[in-house]
């Protein structure tokens, strides 16, 4: 079974894929921070941010349809939180939308939350679709992110596929015994499955650790490839960070 | 057994007992002597303590009693040396293979043994050649077949060139061809081999001696023919 839902397309060839993971991480995080700090009414700034994201996306060869569907996944969560804001601003100017009138200020908040979420999420999708997961972890490690986080994430990535397979097998075994999951008392079955999946994963972790210590593991991961920042990486980082800062300045000035 | 010199002893276990943290007694006063170059099948029903015993051979578990491998007493101080001498291949290749590529996984042991980059490269190439997977360095293990994963697991240990090779159920779940192939690979290796299994057929094919365990004890120890020829004994200990 093949699973590549986290870093699908991360093995494509493109100028963006070739960049050092650190350059991408820093540049895209700068963009996210600038975007989040921009007041919702600064239309030009958001156009600039979205433009940068679009250019990187096109240069990366990652299919647009993939980026869009991934972005849409987060939209419901954002809307669930923010959709009621326009209805909750008493006083102030209102906008008539057919039979209901909503607060103008609230509408602006909703727009701000949505556009910021979409731009931030697309930055992250671009980062993970143009960087192989292990390189990303390696890059984070070099940027002094505590080893604990990177090692745990790397193992999560490695064993996620196996846990998904295991869950799939359990589900098949369950369904072959005519489980329908329609009644509330059947929720118990799902609870048991989650629990046994957890136990199995924990036992597996124990065995993996044994297999590693058997080969002399002492808590430090050997690294075979070393990362190197090249001129192109510095250039990319400088340009993206400059544009992000520029976008934020435009918001003040406009 | 007669007098044998220490140099000929690959594994010496004396009076080993082990109790799991939950209180289960897994090993009760186990003695085992394996000579250099021998191939021994450690057999017994599920839960007999076979795997627990194997985990003692390179100090992953430490019970009461003495364990010596290749003349070294297994203790906290010489763990690195011991783990270089004893190679453990686990039953499920998913437990053994955790790296993004085959090459990195096979290099993991040698790097931990502080080999130089050139030595590591050589060890990886050689180990992959032994298992018939040369050129697989950049493949990702989770896209390989079970048989291939099994062979990569073996390579991850062979790259450390262990003197003693411990294989836990090496051919379970393999198809007949994969099984034959795997046994051929094991057959030509010169290391002392301990094979944990409850597969009578495989024990007959590979091992000169069988150690039968049940309920944490060694209940029989002799030539393959004498132990596996005793149907009553096998039946009593759940192997027939």
Q: Is residue A98 classed as helix, strand or coil in its secondary structure?
A: coil
Q: For B90, name the nearest residue in chain A, comparing CA atoms only.
A: A211
**DSSP string of A31-58, one letter each residue:** HHHHHHTS-TT-HHHHHHHHHHHHHHHH
CB contact under 8 A, B104 and A224: yes
Q: Where are the domains of chain A?
A: 15-140+227-253, 146-214
Report if residue B161 sits inside a domain: yes
Query: Per the structure block, which two tokens stand in for A247?
Result: 């976008």
Is-contact B76 B26, C-beta < 8 A?
no
What pLDDT digit, counting tens, does each position of A87-145 carry? 776 667 777 777 777 888 888 888 999 999 999 999 999 999 999 888 888 899 888 88
Per DSSP, B15 falls in state E
- Nearest CB partner across the interface for A208, out of B95, B104, B113: B95
A to B CB pairs, distance under 8 Å: 69
Which residue in A89, A118, A107, A161 sits closest to A31, CA to CA? A118
Q: Is residue B33 a part of any domain in this protein?
A: yes
Nearest to B96 among A159, A211, A213 (CB): A211
The answer to the question of residue B201 being in a domain is: yes
Cα–Cα dist A245/A35, whole Å: 9
Q: pLDDT digit of tens for each residue in chain B (240 aa)? A: 455 666 789 999 999 999 998 888 999 999 999 999 999 999 999 999 999 999 999 888 899 999 999 999 999 888 888 988 999 998 888 888 877 789 988 988 888 888 888 999 999 999 999 999 999 998 888 778 999 999 999 999 999 999 999 999 999 889 999 999 999 999 999 999 999 998 899 999 999 999 999 999 999 999 999 999 999 999 999 998
Task: Look at residue B106 and tell me if it is in a domain.
Answer: yes
In the three-class reduction of DSSP (H, G, I as helix; E, B as strand; rest coil), residue A143 is classed as: coil
**Which of A132, A134, A215 minimises the CB distance to B83?**
A215
Rounded CA gap, A78 and A115, in Å? 10
pTM for the whole structure: 0.71
Query: Is A1 touching B (CB cutoff 8 A)?
Result: no
Kindly identify which residue of chain A lies nearest to residue B121, measuring between CA atoms: A224
Chain A neighbors of B112, CB-CB under 8 A: 215-218, 222
Structural domain count, chain B: 1
B85: domain CATH number is 3.40.50.300
Nearest CB to A2 within list B111, B143, B160: B143
Owning domain of residue B224: 6-236
B90/A contact by beta carbon, under 8 A: yes
Are B112 and A216 an interchain contact pair (Cβ–Cβ within 8 Å)? yes
User: Which residues of chain A neighbour B92 with C-beta distances below 8 Å?
Assistant: 207
**B1 assigned to some structural domain:** no
- Assess contact for B158 and B150: CB atoms under 8 A: no
Taking the Cβ of residue B51 and every Cβ of chain A, the question of whether any pair is shorter than 8 Å is answered with no
Rounded alpha-carbon distances, angstroms, from residue A221 to B97, B105, B112: 14, 11, 9
**Residue A204 near residue A159 (C-beta atoms within 8 A):** yes
Q: Hey, are the CB atoms on B90 and A215 less than 8 Å from each other?
A: no
Beta carbons of B112 and A215 less than 8 Å apart: yes
Identify the three-state secondary structure at position B126: helix
ipTM of the complex: 0.73
Any domain includes B128: yes
Helix (H, G, I), strand (E, B) or coil at B171: coil
């Amino acid at each position: 079974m093949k699973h590549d839902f986290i870093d699908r397309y991360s093995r494509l060839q493109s100028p963006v894929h070739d960049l050092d993971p650190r350059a991408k991480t820093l540049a895209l995080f700068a963009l996210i921070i600038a975007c989040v700090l921009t007041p919702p009414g600064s239309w030009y700034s958001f156009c600039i941010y979205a433009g940068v994201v679009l250019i990187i996306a096109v240069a990366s060869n990652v299919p647009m349809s993939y980026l869009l569907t991934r972005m849409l996944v987060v939209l419901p969560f954002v809307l669930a939180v923010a959709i009621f804001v326009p209805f909750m601003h008493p006083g102030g100017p209102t906008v008539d939308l057919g039979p209901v009138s909503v607060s103008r200020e609230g509408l602006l908040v909703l727009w701000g939350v949505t556009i910021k979420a979409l731009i931030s999420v697309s930055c992250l999708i671009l980062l993970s679709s143009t960087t192989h997961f292990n390189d990303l972890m390696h890059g984070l490690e070099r940027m002094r992110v505590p080893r604990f986080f990177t090692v745990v994430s790397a193992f999560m990535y490695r064993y996620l596929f196996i846990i998904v397979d295991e869950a799939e097998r359990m589900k098949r075994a369950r369904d072959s015994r005519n489980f329908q999951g329609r009644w509330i008392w059947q929720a118990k079955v799902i609870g048991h499955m989650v629990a046994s999946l957890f136990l199995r994963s924990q036992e597996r972790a124990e065995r993996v650790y044994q297999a590693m210590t058997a080969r002399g593991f002492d808590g430090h991961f050997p690294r075979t490839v070393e990362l190197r920042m090249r001129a192109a990486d510095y250039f990319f980082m400088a340009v993206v960070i400059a544009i992000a800062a520029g976008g934020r300045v435009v918001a003040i000035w406009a | 057994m007669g007098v044998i010199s220490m140099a000929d002893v690959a594994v010496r276990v004396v009076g080993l007992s082990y109790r799991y943290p939950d209180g289960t007694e897994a090993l009760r006063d186990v003695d085992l002597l394996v000579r250099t170059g021998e191939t021994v099948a450690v057999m017994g029903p599920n839960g007999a303590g076979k795997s627990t015993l194997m985990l003692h051979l390179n100090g992953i578990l430490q019970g009461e009693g003495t364990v010596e491998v290749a003349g070294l007493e297994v203790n906290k101080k010489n763990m690195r040396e011991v783990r270089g001498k004893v190679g453990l291949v686990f039953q499920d290749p998913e437990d053994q293979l955790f790296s993004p590529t085959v090459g990195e996984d096979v290099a993991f042991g040698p790097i931990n043994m502080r080999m130089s980059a050139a030595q590591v490269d050589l060890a990886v190439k050689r180990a992959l050649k032994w298992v018939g997977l040369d050129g697989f360095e950049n493949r990702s293990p989770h896209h390989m077949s079970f048989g291939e994963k099994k062979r990569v697991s073996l390579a991850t240990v062979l790259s450390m060139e262990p003197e003693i090779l411990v294989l836990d159920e090496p051919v379970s779940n393999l198809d007949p061809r994969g099984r034959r192939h795997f046994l051929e690979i094991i057959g030509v290796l010169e290391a002392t081999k301990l094979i944990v299994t409850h597969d009578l057929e495989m024990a007959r094919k590979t091992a000169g001696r069988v150690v039968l365990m049940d309920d944490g004890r060694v209940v029989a120890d002799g030539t393959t023919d004498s132990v596996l020829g005793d149907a009553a004994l096998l039946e009593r200990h759940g192997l027939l």
